[in-house]
Amino acid sequence: MKKILFSILLLASIQIVSAQSSKQVQWSYTAKKIADKTYEIHMTATINGDFHLYAQHQHIAGDVGPVPTTFTFTKNPLLVLDKEIKETGKVIKKHEDAWKGDVNYYEKTVDFVQVVKLKTNVKTNLAGKVEFMVCNEKQCLPPSEIEINVNIGG
């Protein structure tokens, strides 16, 4: 009985702690038409307080380091994705002893931009998820995943 109770408490505490990362970053998504059948999808992160959000690319040797911000999109036969997601914001490059290397991160806000092209003039959506990690000078919160769903075209 003690093992079952301990397992339940452990799972509940993990869920509470992992939810903290998503509370420190608010995500917003917009689509902006830039040419015929071509859109910029803006995935904007607003970061709370003294936390920072890690960039997509880090310069850490080995497997030790912060979890970079990663976007994974659901395949959509009506869309073609540009290969690279661009980051717009004031990137901070810093050597962190805790990670034994140089890291790239953003404070306050960063805009991730994915260019998509519609194969035909249709209304569809870009769906997927973003995984990210936030830290401040005292602690790092566990990585979090947020669903993405942006309407395109029409």
Task: Tell me the per-residue pLDDT of 46-90, one tens digit each, with 9 for 90 and over.
Answer: 999 999 999 999 877 666 789 999 999 999 999 999 989 999 999
**pTM, entire model:** 0.84
Q: Are 64 and 100 in contact (CB under 8 A)?
A: yes
* Cα angle: 41, vertex 42, 44; to 5 degrees: 155
Amino acid residing at 99? W
Residue range(s) defining the domain that contains residue 75: 2-153
* Cα angle: 147, vertex 149, 153; to 5 degrees: 165
**How many domains in the chain?**
1
Residue 14 has pLDDT above 60, yes or no: no
Other C-beta atoms closer than 10 Å to the C-beta of 116 total 22
CATH number at residue 103: 2.60.40.1250
Average pLDDT, the chain: 87
Amino acid residing at 54? Y
Token output for 110 = 């960063």
pLDDT of res. 62: 66
